[in-house]
Amino acid sequence: MQKNEAERHRAKMEKRKAIQDAEVASKTVEKKGLLLVHTGPGKGKSTAAFGLVLRMLGYGKRVGIVQFGKGAWETGEAEALKRFGDQIALHILGEGFTWETQDRGRDVAAAEAAWAKANELMADPSIALLVLDELNIALRYDHLELADIVETLRNRREDLHIVVTGRNAKPELIDAADLVTEMGAVKHHFKAGVKAQEGIEF
């Protein structure tokens, strides 16, 4: 019986491998700078982006990060990334969430400064990956001109990968993206009264 099961499994996996190999062989584009969007109500959007940062660093590539909105807290990722020296261009340009600053003019100015830095990094040929952390929040509150942002991202360098994070990604940005991942909110410890913790939330 066990021998028959093993043979059935092998035959099934052979068919599966043939399907997978055919699918892979059908892809003809070797390299393309991708626009990735991490959105949705669940936790993990920035966390996933920092996973890509680590992966790119592992290949010796240079990475840029511009954080919109964030900036009031010291974070573990910022401390860790500083250890990579010039391989990382990290710019934390937010002044805290908009409900904390309670000053729209200040929020708009901070978003504009962050976007100017993002443009500077997009033009830098040494940057292989650019993370625009919480850009979706700046767009949600109309701190930046959506059409300008989308056009600029569409016209990025051919070899530049860009990751945009934050809830409520605009439909225009989703349409422009090559990959969109929506993080679902199934369960969160915050609802059970657990505060943000070092190493988990920041």
Contact between residue 111 and residue 143 where contact means Cβ atoms under 8 Å apart: yes
Among 48, 68, 40, 43, which Cα is nearest to 196's? 43
Per-residue confidence in pLDDT tens, the chain, 202 aa: 577 888 888 888 888 888 898 888 887 878 899 999 999 999 999 999 999 999 999 999 999 999 998 766 688 999 999 999 999 999 998 765 555 667 788 889 999 999 999 999 999 999 999 999 999 999 999 999 999 999 999 999 999 999 999 999 999 999 999 999 999 999 999 888 999 898 888 8
Q: Which residues contact 114 (CB under 8 A, 6 or more apart)?
A: 66, 67, 68, 91, 93, 94, 138
Whether the Cβ atoms of residue 12 and residue 140 lie closer than 8 Å to each other: no
**pLDDT on residue 176:** 98
Helix (H/G/I), strand (E/B), else coil: 67:
strand
| pLDDT at residue 100, as a whole number | 61
Q: Which amino acid makes up residue 194? A: V
Provide the 3-class DSSP secondary structure of residue 23: helix
- Among 29, 31, 40, which residue's Cα sits nearest to residue 164? 40
For every residue of 120-168, DSSP letters joined together read HHHT-TTEEEEEEETHHHHHHTTSS-HHHHHHHHHTS-TT-EEEEE-SS
d(C-alpha 14, C-alpha 16), whole Å: 5
In this structure, are residues 179 and 54 in contact, taking their beta carbons and an 8 Å threshold? no
* pTM for this predicted structure: 0.88
